[in-house]
Structure 1
Amino acid sequence: MRLTDYTDYSLRVLMYLGMHRDRVVTIQDIADAYDISKSHLMKIVHQLGLAGLVETTRGRSGGLRLGKEPAAINIGDVVKLTEPDFKMVECFDTEANECVLSPSCQLQGALAKATQAYLSVLGELTLADILKGNGSLRKRQIIQFHSREKEKATA
Protein backbone atom coordinates (compact mmCIF):
# COMPACT_ATOMS: atom_id res chain seq x y z
CA MET A 1 0.00 0.00 0.00
CA ARG A 2 1.26 3.44 -0.83
CA LEU A 3 -0.03 6.75 0.46
CA THR A 4 -0.62 9.55 -2.01
CA ASP A 5 1.56 12.64 -1.88
CA TYR A 6 -1.55 14.49 -0.72
CA THR A 7 -1.74 12.36 2.43
CA ASP A 8 2.02 12.52 2.97
CA TYR A 9 1.95 16.31 2.75
CA SER A 10 -1.12 16.49 5.00
CA LEU A 11 0.74 14.56 7.68
CA ARG A 12 3.79 16.80 7.21
CA VAL A 13 1.63 19.91 7.67
CA LEU A 14 0.24 18.53 10.92
CA MET A 15 3.71 17.53 12.13
CA TYR A 16 5.10 20.96 11.32
CA LEU A 17 2.25 22.70 13.13
CA GLY A 18 2.65 20.32 16.05
CA MET A 19 6.34 21.13 16.34
CA HIS A 20 5.72 24.89 16.10
CA ARG A 21 2.86 25.40 18.52
CA ASP A 22 4.66 28.39 20.01
CA ARG A 23 3.96 30.59 16.98
CA VAL A 24 1.65 31.17 14.04
CA VAL A 25 2.97 29.37 10.98
CA THR A 26 2.47 30.35 7.35
CA ILE A 27 1.94 28.08 4.39
CA GLN A 28 5.16 29.55 3.01
CA ASP A 29 7.03 28.36 6.13
CA ILE A 30 5.85 24.81 5.51
CA ALA A 31 6.49 25.03 1.77
CA ASP A 32 10.06 26.16 2.43
CA ALA A 33 10.70 23.57 5.14
CA TYR A 34 9.57 20.63 3.03
CA ASP A 35 10.18 22.01 -0.49
CA ILE A 36 6.51 21.56 -1.42
CA SER A 37 4.46 23.75 -3.75
CA LYS A 38 2.66 26.51 -1.86
CA SER A 39 -0.43 26.15 -4.07
CA HIS A 40 -0.57 22.41 -3.33
CA LEU A 41 -0.31 23.11 0.38
CA MET A 42 -3.15 25.63 0.19
CA LYS A 43 -5.51 22.86 -0.97
CA ILE A 44 -4.31 20.58 1.81
CA VAL A 45 -4.63 23.23 4.51
CA HIS A 46 -8.13 24.04 3.27
CA GLN A 47 -9.24 20.41 3.66
CA LEU A 48 -7.54 20.07 7.05
CA GLY A 49 -9.27 23.28 8.10
CA LEU A 50 -12.68 21.98 7.04
CA ALA A 51 -12.02 18.90 9.16
CA GLY A 52 -11.16 21.07 12.18
CA LEU A 53 -7.56 19.86 12.30
CA VAL A 54 -6.09 23.24 11.37
CA GLU A 55 -7.20 26.75 12.32
CA THR A 56 -6.48 29.50 9.84
CA THR A 57 -6.35 33.24 10.38
CA ARG A 58 -6.38 35.58 7.40
CA GLY A 59 -4.61 38.88 7.14
CA ARG A 60 -1.14 40.31 7.45
CA SER A 61 -0.37 38.63 10.75
CA GLY A 62 -2.43 35.55 9.93
CA GLY A 63 -1.33 32.00 9.61
CA LEU A 64 -1.99 28.49 10.77
CA ARG A 65 -2.06 26.53 13.96
CA LEU A 66 -3.39 23.17 15.03
CA GLY A 67 -7.14 23.09 15.53
CA LYS A 68 -6.90 20.34 18.14
CA GLU A 69 -4.41 19.08 20.66
CA PRO A 70 -1.88 16.68 19.08
CA ALA A 71 -3.16 13.84 21.28
CA ALA A 72 -6.65 14.35 19.79
CA ILE A 73 -5.49 14.02 16.17
CA ASN A 74 -5.67 10.38 15.11
CA ILE A 75 -3.28 9.48 12.28
CA GLY A 76 -5.56 6.76 10.95
CA ASP A 77 -8.42 9.26 10.72
CA VAL A 78 -6.20 11.71 8.84
CA VAL A 79 -5.19 9.00 6.37
CA LYS A 80 -8.83 8.01 5.83
CA LEU A 81 -9.74 11.68 5.35
CA THR A 82 -7.04 12.39 2.78
CA GLU A 83 -6.84 9.15 0.78
CA PRO A 84 -9.29 8.90 -2.13
CA ASP A 85 -9.91 5.17 -1.55
CA PHE A 86 -8.34 1.94 -0.39
CA LYS A 87 -9.13 -0.16 -3.43
CA MET A 88 -5.87 -2.06 -3.61
CA VAL A 89 -7.04 -4.22 -6.51
CA GLU A 90 -9.84 -4.21 -9.06
CA CYS A 91 -12.08 -6.55 -7.10
CA PHE A 92 -12.34 -4.06 -4.21
CA ASP A 93 -14.51 -1.88 -6.48
CA THR A 94 -17.77 -3.82 -6.67
CA GLU A 95 -19.20 -1.54 -9.38
CA ALA A 96 -16.23 -1.72 -11.78
CA ASN A 97 -14.91 -5.20 -10.97
CA GLU A 98 -14.46 -7.34 -14.07
CA CYS A 99 -11.98 -9.80 -12.64
CA VAL A 100 -12.99 -13.35 -13.63
CA LEU A 101 -11.35 -14.74 -10.49
CA SER A 102 -13.50 -12.77 -8.03
CA PRO A 103 -16.15 -15.43 -7.33
CA SER A 104 -13.58 -17.90 -5.99
CA CYS A 105 -10.49 -15.79 -5.22
CA GLN A 106 -9.00 -16.15 -1.75
CA LEU A 107 -6.61 -13.24 -2.27
CA GLN A 108 -9.36 -10.63 -2.07
CA GLY A 109 -10.13 -11.51 1.55
CA ALA A 110 -6.47 -11.53 2.51
CA LEU A 111 -5.89 -8.12 0.93
CA ALA A 112 -8.97 -6.71 2.65
CA LYS A 113 -7.70 -8.06 5.97
CA ALA A 114 -4.23 -6.57 5.33
CA THR A 115 -5.75 -3.18 4.51
CA GLN A 116 -7.76 -3.24 7.73
CA ALA A 117 -4.62 -4.17 9.72
CA TYR A 118 -2.75 -1.28 8.09
CA LEU A 119 -5.50 1.18 9.02
CA SER A 120 -5.77 -0.33 12.48
CA VAL A 121 -2.08 0.32 13.21
CA LEU A 122 -2.39 3.91 12.00
CA GLY A 123 -5.56 4.26 14.07
CA GLU A 124 -3.53 3.54 17.21
CA LEU A 125 -1.30 6.58 16.60
CA THR A 126 -1.92 10.20 17.39
CA LEU A 127 -0.01 13.25 16.23
CA ALA A 128 1.41 13.46 19.77
CA ASP A 129 2.83 9.94 19.36
CA ILE A 130 4.67 10.74 16.16
CA LEU A 131 5.96 14.06 17.48
CA LYS A 132 7.70 12.36 20.42
CA GLY A 133 11.45 12.30 19.98
CA ASN A 134 11.48 14.65 17.00
CA GLY A 135 13.85 17.11 18.69
CA SER A 136 16.42 16.94 15.90
CA LEU A 137 13.77 17.60 13.27
CA ARG A 138 12.45 20.56 15.27
CA LYS A 139 15.99 21.91 15.67
CA ARG A 140 16.54 21.66 11.90
CA GLN A 141 13.32 23.54 11.23
CA ILE A 142 14.18 26.27 13.73
CA ILE A 143 17.55 26.78 12.03
CA GLN A 144 15.81 27.02 8.64
CA PHE A 145 13.28 29.49 10.02
CA HIS A 146 15.93 31.80 11.48
CA SER A 147 17.99 31.58 8.32
CA ARG A 148 15.00 32.69 6.24
CA GLU A 149 14.25 35.51 8.67
CA LYS A 150 17.83 36.80 8.31
CA GLU A 151 17.52 36.64 4.52
CA LYS A 152 14.29 38.65 4.66
CA ALA A 153 15.87 41.25 6.93
CA THR A 154 18.84 41.78 4.62
CA ALA A 155 16.79 41.84 1.42
Structure 2
Amino acid sequence: MRLTSFTDYGLRMLMRMASSQDRAFSTAELAEEFELSRNHLSKIMQRLSRGGIVETRRGGGGGAVLARTPHDIRLGDVVRLLEEDQPLVECFQTQTNTCSLDGRCRLKARLRTAETAFLADLDRSTLADIALPPLSADA
Protein backbone atom coordinates (compact mmCIF):
# COMPACT_ATOMS: atom_id res chain seq x y z
CA MET A 1 0.00 0.00 0.00
CA ARG A 2 1.28 3.46 -0.84
CA LEU A 3 0.08 6.78 0.52
CA THR A 4 0.06 9.90 -1.61
CA SER A 5 2.54 12.69 -0.90
CA PHE A 6 -0.52 14.75 0.09
CA THR A 7 -1.12 12.37 3.01
CA ASP A 8 2.58 11.99 3.77
CA TYR A 9 3.03 15.74 4.18
CA GLY A 10 -0.25 16.05 6.04
CA LEU A 11 0.96 13.54 8.61
CA ARG A 12 4.34 15.27 8.88
CA MET A 13 2.68 18.64 9.47
CA LEU A 14 0.46 17.15 12.17
CA MET A 15 3.44 15.47 13.83
CA ARG A 16 5.19 18.85 13.91
CA MET A 17 2.13 20.67 15.21
CA ALA A 18 1.67 18.04 17.94
CA SER A 19 5.22 18.73 19.12
CA SER A 20 4.34 22.35 20.00
CA GLN A 21 0.66 22.52 20.78
CA ASP A 22 0.97 25.88 22.51
CA ARG A 23 1.59 27.80 19.29
CA ALA A 24 0.12 28.40 15.85
CA PHE A 25 2.01 27.42 12.71
CA SER A 26 1.94 29.58 9.61
CA THR A 27 1.75 27.98 6.19
CA ALA A 28 4.94 29.80 5.23
CA GLU A 29 6.81 28.35 8.21
CA LEU A 30 5.66 24.79 7.58
CA ALA A 31 6.27 25.08 3.84
CA GLU A 32 9.84 26.17 4.49
CA GLU A 33 10.44 23.45 7.08
CA PHE A 34 9.19 20.69 4.78
CA GLU A 35 10.51 22.26 1.56
CA LEU A 36 7.03 22.21 0.09
CA SER A 37 5.19 24.84 -1.91
CA ARG A 38 2.87 27.03 0.16
CA ASN A 39 0.10 26.36 -2.34
CA HIS A 40 0.32 22.57 -1.88
CA LEU A 41 0.58 22.92 1.89
CA SER A 42 -2.46 25.23 1.93
CA LYS A 43 -4.52 22.58 0.15
CA ILE A 44 -3.51 19.99 2.72
CA MET A 45 -4.29 22.40 5.55
CA GLN A 46 -7.72 23.16 4.07
CA ARG A 47 -8.56 19.46 3.98
CA LEU A 48 -7.39 19.01 7.58
CA SER A 49 -9.44 22.02 8.62
CA ARG A 50 -12.54 20.79 6.81
CA GLY A 51 -12.12 17.46 8.61
CA GLY A 52 -11.94 19.08 12.04
CA ILE A 53 -8.32 18.10 12.63
CA VAL A 54 -6.89 21.64 12.63
CA GLU A 55 -8.27 25.13 13.09
CA THR A 56 -6.91 28.03 11.10
CA ARG A 57 -6.85 31.71 12.05
CA ARG A 58 -6.03 34.67 9.83
CA GLY A 59 -4.07 37.78 10.67
CA GLY A 60 -1.37 38.60 13.20
CA GLY A 61 -0.79 35.71 15.55
CA GLY A 62 -2.79 33.53 13.17
CA GLY A 63 -1.89 30.21 11.69
CA ALA A 64 -2.94 26.62 12.22
CA VAL A 65 -3.41 24.79 15.52
CA LEU A 66 -4.69 21.33 16.32
CA ALA A 67 -8.46 21.36 16.81
CA ARG A 68 -8.26 18.45 19.27
CA THR A 69 -5.60 17.00 21.51
CA PRO A 70 -3.14 14.63 19.80
CA HIS A 71 -4.55 11.80 21.95
CA ASP A 72 -7.95 12.35 20.30
CA ILE A 73 -6.72 12.26 16.69
CA ARG A 74 -6.63 8.72 15.29
CA LEU A 75 -4.15 8.13 12.48
CA GLY A 76 -6.66 6.07 10.51
CA ASP A 77 -9.07 9.01 10.53
CA VAL A 78 -6.35 11.32 9.20
CA VAL A 79 -5.42 8.91 6.41
CA ARG A 80 -9.07 8.39 5.46
CA LEU A 81 -9.56 12.15 5.28
CA LEU A 82 -6.44 12.89 3.26
CA GLU A 83 -6.84 9.89 0.92
CA GLU A 84 -10.61 10.28 0.44
CA ASP A 85 -10.32 11.06 -3.27
CA GLN A 86 -7.54 8.53 -3.92
CA PRO A 87 -8.96 4.99 -4.08
CA LEU A 88 -6.51 2.13 -3.64
CA VAL A 89 -7.48 0.77 -7.06
CA GLU A 90 -9.71 2.06 -9.85
CA CYS A 91 -12.55 -0.36 -9.16
CA PHE A 92 -13.05 1.17 -5.69
CA GLN A 93 -14.11 4.42 -7.41
CA THR A 94 -17.66 3.61 -8.49
CA GLN A 95 -18.22 6.81 -10.50
CA THR A 96 -15.19 6.41 -12.79
CA ASN A 97 -14.59 2.66 -12.71
CA THR A 98 -13.81 1.36 -16.21
CA CYS A 99 -12.32 -1.98 -15.16
CA SER A 100 -13.39 -4.67 -17.60
CA LEU A 101 -13.07 -7.31 -14.85
CA ASP A 102 -15.55 -5.66 -12.49
CA GLY A 103 -18.12 -8.18 -11.33
CA ARG A 104 -15.82 -11.13 -12.10
CA CYS A 105 -12.69 -10.12 -10.19
CA ARG A 106 -11.60 -12.02 -7.09
CA LEU A 107 -8.86 -9.53 -6.26
CA LYS A 108 -11.14 -6.63 -5.34
CA ALA A 109 -12.49 -8.24 -2.16
CA ARG A 110 -8.99 -9.13 -0.99
CA LEU A 111 -7.74 -5.61 -1.60
CA ARG A 112 -10.72 -4.16 0.28
CA THR A 113 -9.96 -6.48 3.21
CA ALA A 114 -6.30 -5.44 3.17
CA GLU A 115 -7.20 -1.74 3.04
CA THR A 116 -9.64 -2.19 5.94
CA ALA A 117 -6.97 -3.98 8.00
CA PHE A 118 -4.42 -1.26 7.20
CA LEU A 119 -6.75 1.51 8.38
CA ALA A 120 -7.85 -0.50 11.42
CA ASP A 121 -4.22 -0.82 12.46
CA LEU A 122 -3.73 2.93 12.08
CA ASP A 123 -6.87 3.48 14.18
CA ARG A 124 -5.04 1.87 17.10
CA SER A 125 -2.56 4.77 17.11
CA THR A 126 -3.04 8.46 17.72
CA LEU A 127 -1.14 11.57 16.76
CA ALA A 128 0.28 11.59 20.30
CA ASP A 129 2.01 8.28 19.53
CA ILE A 130 3.96 9.80 16.62
CA ALA A 131 4.43 13.44 17.70
CA LEU A 132 7.92 14.76 17.07
CA PRO A 133 10.06 15.82 19.98
CA PRO A 134 9.91 19.63 20.34
CA LEU A 135 12.58 21.57 18.47
CA SER A 136 15.00 23.34 20.81
CA ALA A 137 13.67 26.74 19.66
CA ASP A 138 10.16 25.71 20.77
CA ALA A 139 11.20 24.48 24.21
Structure with more relative contact order (C-alpha pairs < 8 Å, separation 6 or more): 2
Work out the percentage of aligned pairs sharing the same amino acid: 40
Distance in 1 of aligned mates of 2:91 and 2:45 = 33
Structure-2 residue corresponding to 1:69: 69
Structure-2 residue corresponding to 1:151: none
Bigger shift: residues 56-65 or 86-95: 86-95
Structure 2 runs not aligned, ≥5 long: none
Q: CA RMSD in A?
A: 2.1
SS for the counterpart of 2:64 is strand
1:99 aligns with 2:108: no
**Rg larger for:** 1
Return the offset for 1:107.
Answer: 2.2
Structure 2 CA distance for partners of 1:60 and 1:111, relative to 1, 3 Å: same
TM-score by length of 2: 0.84
Structure 1 runs not aligned, ≥5 long: 146-155
Return the offset for 1:85.
Answer: 4.2
Structure-1 residue corresponding to 2:120: 120
SS for the counterpart of 2:45 is helix
Distance in 2 of aligned mates of 1:55 and 1:88 = 28
Bigger shift: residues 36-45 or 81-90: 81-90
Structure-2 residue corresponding to 1:152: none
TM-score by length of 1: 0.76
